[in-house]
Amino acid sequence: MAFRRKTDRTTEVRQKFFRNRIPMRFRGRRPLKAQTLTGMIPNITTLMALCCGMTAIRFALLEKWEFAIVSILLAAILDALDGRLARLLNSTSRFGAELDSFADFLNFGVAPALIMYLRGLSHWGEIGWAISLFFTICMVLRLARFNVMSVALNQPAWLQGFFIGVPAPLGGFLGVYPIIIQHAFPTLLWVQFPVCYAFFMLLAGCLMVSRIPTFSLKKMIIPSSQVMPFLLGLFASVGLLYSYPWLTLTLLGVGYIALIPFAFVKFKEHERKTMIHEDDVSGKIVDD
């Protein structure tokens, strides 16, 4: 009996030792709850996006660049749908959020970097590989910052209409943008040079980790007078994307880059109004 009590005490000490080595956020977690098949649709959508990212890498290895770009775009579409499906089906969870973050890292951080390296940056040897690593590191830093900011409290409501830095899907899109331009305008020779690939990879990486605000379409409110023009423009874009995919994607990229200065100005206006409001509230409290 004494030997058994000593063994049990040793086991408790070991369990306590290893439990203390586990980060606090992982302690005391309950196992995943049972879910219906409908409730699992958002996570299934995320895994489908992950498969698209892996398939893009395979197409790049086979030098099928068009299919690789299409796979990245499909992953971006599925990434835009999974969160909305989770909110629509009331099946949001921390597990789904973490799964989405890991999938984004592969789809828009690893896959575009490998595609651009295999396509043109490999001609620069170690320098080209360093540029690909820079892009991937910027992506993981951007995702980490987004995860931290998503759980931050006491944020103003208007801040939900903006991203801080370029979001992950659009960062991946800008990373492979030279290949899109090359398919839209095959006669442009400067797009085929590795220096162009390096420029867009570095630009996309810097925009992702920057503090430059960009518009978020998730909380964008369309005025009632602009609903019909918006729908007409949306369907026209879909039609053009079906008829002239590479040219339409090129124009969409130019349009998004052109919107960044407007997002910056709008963000500063909201920030200035918030500061004025806080100063007024502080002044009233002091007067009282």
pLDDT bin (cut points 50, 70, 90) of residue 26 is very low
pLDDT at 281: 57
The more confidently predicted of residues 42 and 3 is 42
**Would you say residue 18 has pLDDT above 60?**
no
**Would you say residue 4 has pLDDT above 70?**
no
**Would you say residue 160 has pLDDT above 70?**
yes
**Would you say residue 39 has pLDDT above 80?**
no
pLDDT per position as a tens digit, 224-241: 777 788 888 888 888 888
pLDDT at 269: 87
**The domain 42-283: what is its CATH number?**
1.20.120.1760
Mean pLDDT within 174-180: 94
DSSP string across the chain: -HHHHHHHHHHHHHHHHHHHTS-GGGTTPPPPPP--TTTTHHHHHHHHHHHHHHHHHHHHHTT-HHHHHHHHHHHHHHHHHHHHHHHHTT---HHHHHHHHHHHIIIIIIHHHHHHHHHTGGGGTHHHHHHHHHHHHHHHHHHHHHHHHHT--S--GGGGGEEES--HHHHHHHHTHHHHHHHH-TT-SGGGSHHHHHHHHHHHHHHHHS--EEE-STT----GGGHHHHHHHHHHHHHHHHHSHHHHHHHHHHHHHHHHHHHHHHHHHHHHHHHHHHHHHHHHHHH-
pLDDT at 3: 46
The more confidently predicted of residues 93 and 260 is 260
Over the chain, what is the mean pLDDT? 83
Mean pLDDT within 11-31: 53
Mean pLDDT within 199-220: 88
**Would you say residue 135 has pLDDT above 70?**
yes
List the single range of 47-56, 263-272, 279-288 with lowest mean pLDDT: 279-288
**Would you say residue 55 has pLDDT above 60?**
yes
Domain residue limits, the chain: 42-283
pLDDT bin (cut points 50, 70, 90) of residue 279 is low
pLDDT bin (cut points 50, 70, 90) of residue 200 is very high
- In this prediction the pTM is 0.81
**Would you say residue 280 has pLDDT above 70?**
no
pLDDT at 33: 62
Mean pLDDT within 44-64: 94
**Would you say residue 150 has pLDDT above 80?**
no
